[in-house]
Structure formats: structure tokens, C-alpha cells
Chains A and B, each alone.
Chain A
Amino acid sequence: MIFSISGLGKTYKRGEMVFSAAENISFMVDRQDFVCITGESGSGKSTLLNMLTGLLQPDEGFVRFEGRNIAELSDDERARLRNSRIGCIPQGYSLLNNFTVLDNVCLPCCLYNAGRSAYKDAAKKARLILRRMGISHLAAEHPRNLSGGEQRRVAIARGMATDPVLLVADEPTGDLDPKTAAAILGVFGEIHRNGTAIIMVTHEKDHIPFANRHFVMERGQLQEIFPDGTRSSAAPAAEHACISDSFK
């Protein structure tokens, strides 16, 4: 088990009003999981993902990643965790325009290692990943000159560059045409088969079959939809998470 999330909650202030963007969310993610989270825009999916990756501090509950409570880590330790264990693919356009495609993919690997040889190794690996994504010919390009689908692939490649155990993708197919979106999902399927767990947020119902688990986010509440169509309520899963955690 990689992630165990329990009683997670986050409230935002909107003017004078306080509202919950995420409420009492509990679930677990295994090493073999390809989790798909759907939900309407504004239901709190990005908020949830950012809490999982430690970019956002939850108001309630905790996130355990590989047994460690993320909230108890320092901000720097969380950053290092994202750098080494979790691949993040943020929502929307997330490439650095002043770096080539290759350097975009390399950067996470040699962010803390300025050496020449570290860069060479990273570049070698980046080329390999780019080839797997079918965009090795774009290595020297600047991201601005790429199509939307190509840009997403670069972002995925960057997420994969550090060999993370978990890939967290926020709407990786948003605003892509169906054909390109399907190709991207094919890439995710392959990454999953190669042993990387995936948590992917999407609002396309068609993408659900690619994953092996499906959750729905509705106004800050998360529910799992099982293959037989039944829904879990969040609470029991949370207890389950706590118990299995304490048995470790």
C-alpha cells in the first residue's frame, strides 16, 4: 500500500462564507492501482490531489505515503518526496517555456545534482522516456511549438523521469481531442502495466474503463464506485485505513 488517506478535509473561505472543498475523505491506494477520480468541475478534485502530493496542507485528517504522515514532514521533505517518489502532472499547461523538451524532462532528476555527469545520465534517461512516449524527435524543441497532445506527453514524461512509485495526474487529457486523449490514456495504461501506481483525475466518463478503480467526487465528498455499480460510503474505509495502518 502506498497511500492511506483518512478523514481528509479542507475548507476554503469564499468572502465571508466558509465551505468545504474536501470533506472526510478516506481511501487507500495500492502499488498495483490505477485510480480514476471523476467529478464535476469545482467538486474538489484538484484540492484532493494537491493534498495527496503535499502541495496543500489539509485542515483535517492525514495522508500517509509509504507509511509516513506527509503533514508531519517539513516542507522541504515534502518537496524531496515529490522529487523522488511521486510524479506530479499538474492541471493545465505545466511546461517550462525557457527550457527545451529534453531539459524539461531532465530537470526533476538533476534539480539537486548540478554535476555534468548527473545531467548526462538524466538526459540519457529522458531520451528513453521520450521515445517510449513517441516524441523523441521533439527533444530539442521548445514546448511552445508543440501541440496540446505533445505537451501533455512531455509533462507525463517529466512525471516519469525520476522513476516514481506513484504518478498523480490532474486532468491529463483536459481540452484534448478524443483521439489524442485516448492515446494519452494508452500511455498511462502502459505505465501502469510497468508497475507504477496511478491516480488520475478526469471528467471524461469514457476514461473510467482504463483504470481498475473508480472514485467519484461530489461537492467535496469522495465515493468509490465498484465494478458492480455499488457505491461505498467514505466512513468505513477510513476505519479500515486506520486499522490496517496500526497493524503494520
Chain B
Amino acid sequence: MSTFAIAWNNLLHRRFRSLCLALLIMLTAFVIAGGTLFGSSLRNGVRSTADRLGADAMFLPPGAERELEGALLEGKPSTFYLPGDTVRQLSSAKNVKRSSPQLYISTFDSPHCGSLVQIIGYDPKTDFVVAPWLIESVPGGPKTGEIVIGNAIQLEPGEEMLLFDMRYKVAGKLEKTGMGFDVSVFAGMETAYTLIDRYEKYLEAIPMPDKDAASVVVVEIEKGVDHETFARDIRMEYRSVGVILPQAIIGNMMKHLNLTIAVLTGLLIVIWILSAFVLAIVFTVALHERKREFGVFRAFGATRGKLVSILMTESALLSAGGASIGILLLCITVLPFNAFIESSLGSEYLLPSAGVTALILGGCFLLCASVGPVAAVLSAMRISYADTSLIMKEDM
């Protein structure tokens, strides 16, 4: 009879106890795998926001930084302008490799618009930020009267959208970006200017300073140039221009996040240790009441190694079983709702790719499957050192 069969039989015999211990490990695995997945989704979300943006720097009116952050990450409506002259000058500023202007226009809750969105006017000729996200490329960008929409907007190409009392044809749709882009509408600059005109009519808003003003200019910096230095130089040269380095925003968010994740990790470690501790106590107590059983095994010729491997197999079976059920449970309860979680937590949360997720779940499985054997080591050592005659002594 294999060690496995003996161990399995022993577990079945103490069904209630086995079930309770497996349940404990199941919970541990659920919490640890869930927590780890949550933490890495947060980290992944923040990290990839920087990549997703696709721009090294953004020029904007000084003081509009917070508004832009809201617009970029959450799609919060905002309106601010850089004068057209400045935009032109900036495009040929030192160390700027590529640049493209964008115009931000907010819709507002009114019968004039189909839904509350952020409208971003962009210049398809110079753009390098929006186009890479297009599911199907729109050659030459959206024409006058056409728009491209973010992934979360419930329209399909060919359909129409009402913006400030005019219907616009959807020419293309973006992939899911996990940023404010998802709830934004993109239009060519010409279209954007006409939208702005009507926007100002409906709302007594700050009028546009001149005809080719922009809200921001997205910039790709020349390779090898330090971003901070670049930003400082621009600020020195153009007093009326603010610079945002998305990487820096992300860096700040990362700092906060790392703290949160460290606390989370600490908590998970405590949970792991606690369940190992509970298991160790249960095993040790069980060992006492199983002295006779092990003594009998010894009497008919089991080596100490055999007893240890039976005990270890029992604990490994318990924790591998518990851990796999816990992780399976996580997969069927949480993963299907991940889209919902992602949208309700915003851009800071993004589930890692399937491969990485599988890797994380696998790692958590191993971690939790090891709880049992680790907890059993103490008992196993005590079997090894117990004098067998002492084991035999306890008569029944």
C-alpha cells in the first residue's frame, strides 16, 4: 500500500478534522491569492497608465495640472487653453522629437448632448498618442463631422452621436485603454473648433484665446534627454507653460501604492503564519492521540522515515486540496467580475495578463500548499525522536 493510500485513508478516517483543516487552508489560499492579485492589479494599473499614455511630457497652461490629471486618468471634464502662438513655438522647442496639440472640451448634462463625455480634439497628422489605440485604423483621421470613440462608449462605428445639438458619425473605436480615453470622444481639430464654438454659446465659458489654441501639447522627448531637465528648461524658457511628466505622476502614485501593498503583503504573511500556527497546534495535539497508532506501525516494521512521510503526505494532501479549492473559488467568484471591478476602481486597477495572473495564482498555490508540510515538520521531528517503547507504553 502506498504512503499516499495510507495517508489518504487516515484523512478519510478523521473526516471532520480533515475538512476543518482543509477549509482553513482554503480560506488562507483565497485571501492570499486574492490579496496578491489585487495588489499586483493595482501596481499593474498604475504602471501601465504611464505606458498607455504614450507621451513623455505634456505642455499645458500653468496651474491646470490637477485638472489634466483628472481628465487623463478618470475622464473628468475640464477646459483650459494654451494660445496658438505658444503651441507653434513649443513644437520646435529644444529636445522635442515629436509633438501634437490636443483640445479638451467637456460636455455637460443637458439635452444638447447624448451623454456626458470628454471630447478631445487632436491633429491626426501629428498625432502619435491616439492612433495606436484604434481598433481599426482610420486613414487620415476622422473627417469633419466624424468622431472616434473610446472603448467604454456604447456605440459602434457607423452609428451617430449627438454632441451640442449636432450628430456626428462614429468613424472608429479605440481599444480598452484603462484611462480617461475610454470615456472620451476624439475629433479632428476642425471638428473640435466648431464644437468649441457651440460649447461657448451654450455655456458662458472662458472663450478660446485665439483660433488655433490647444489645451495641451503631447510631446515625445528626444532619446537620452533627462525628462526632469527637459521640463525645467521648458519652464525657464516659456514662463506661461506648465509641464507634466506622466512618469512622475505615476512615480508619485507608485510611492503611495507601494506603501499600501507593503501593508497588504504584511497582512497576508501574518495570515499565512497564523494558519501554519493553527495547523501546527492541531498536528501536535493529534500526534499525541496518535502515539499508539504510530507505535503499531513501528511494531510491524515501519521505519521512522515511513512514519514521517505518511504524516507529511497527509499534511501535503490537506493543504494542496484546500489551496486548490481556495484558488478555484477565487477564479470562479472574482475573475468573471473583474471587468466590473476594473471599471469601478478606475484606471489604477488592471488585472495583469493571463500568463502573469496564472503565475501569481500558481505561486500562491505553492505557498499555501506548503502551509501543511511546514506545520507538520515539528510533529514529524517528534515522531523521529520519540522512543518507540514510550509510544507502545500507552495501553488502551
Contact = CB atoms under 8 A, between A and B. Distances in A.
Interface of A: 46-47, 50, 53, 55-56, 75-76, 79-84, 87-88, 90-99, 103, 106-108, 110-112, 114, 119, 158-159, 162
A90 B392 contact: yes
Given A90-B295, A106-B1, A56 B301 contact: no
B335 interface: no
Contact of A53 (B296, B299, B303, B306): B299
A236 to B, nearest CB: 29
A108 B300 contact: yes
18 contacts: A46-B392, A53-B299, A56-B388, A56-B389, A75-B304, A80-B301, A90-B296, A90-B392, A91-B392, A91-B395, A93-B396, A103-B1, A108-B300, A108-B301, A111-B300, A111-B302, A114-B2, A114-B5
Contacts of A94: 292, 296, 299
Contacts of B306: 79, 111-112
A170 to B, nearest CB: 9
Interface in B288-316: 292-293, 295-306
Nearest to A77: B303
A55 B301 contact: no
Interface of B: 1-6, 9-10, 12-14, 292-293, 295-306, 387-389, 392, 395-396
B1 A84 contact: no
A57 to B, nearest CB: 8
A231 to B, nearest CB: 28
Contacts of A108: 300-301
Contacts, number: 88
Given A93-B396, A96-B293, A79 B13 contact: no
B337 to A, nearest CB: 42
Contact of B392 (A55, A84, A107, A110): A55
B3 A114 contact: yes
B387 A97 contact: no
Given A55-B388, A56-B389, A91-B395, A79 B5 contact: no
Contacts of B388: 50, 55-56
A50 B392 CA distance: 9
B17 to A, nearest CB: 12
Contacts of A110: 1
A47 B298 CA distance: 16
B301 A98 contact: no
B127 to A, nearest CB: 68
Given A90-B296, A110-B1, A162-B301, 17 more contacts: A46-B392, A55-B389, A79-B302, A80-B303, A82-B298, A82-B299, A92-B395, A93-B395, A94-B292, A94-B299, A98-B9, A98-B13, A107-B1, A111-B1, A111-B300, A114-B2, A114-B5
B13 A97 contact: yes
Contacts of B304: 75-76, 79
Given A92-B395, A92-B396, A111-B306, A98 B389 contact: no
A98 B12 contact: yes
B301 A82 contact: yes
B389 A158 contact: no
Contact of A55 (B3, B6, B9, B299): B299
Contacts of A47: 389
Nearest to A88: B299
Nearest to A85: B301
A81 B2 CA distance: 20
Nearest to A109: B1
A92 B169 CA distance: 91
A79 B299 CA distance: 8
- Shortest beta-carbon contacts, A-B, top 7: A83-B301, A98-B13, A114-B2, A92-B395, A56-B389, A82-B301, A108-B300
Given A76-B303, A80-B303, A96 B296 contact: yes
Given A75-B304, A79-B298, A50 B13 contact: no
A99 B303 contact: no
Contacts of A162: 301
A50 B195 CA distance: 98
A90 B301 contact: no
Nearest to A168: B299
Contacts of A88: 299-300
A75 B387 CA distance: 11
B312 to A, nearest CB: 16
Contacts of A79: 298, 301-304, 306
B1 A114 contact: yes
A98 B1 contact: no
A83 B300 contact: yes
Given A84-B301, A97-B13, A56 B387 contact: yes
A79 B297 CA distance: 10
Nearest to B389: A56
B181 to A, nearest CB: 60
Contact of B10 (A50, A56, A98, A107): A98
Nearest to A99: B9
Contacts of A82: 298-301
A246 B90 CA distance: 107
B301 A111 contact: yes
Contacts of B297: 96
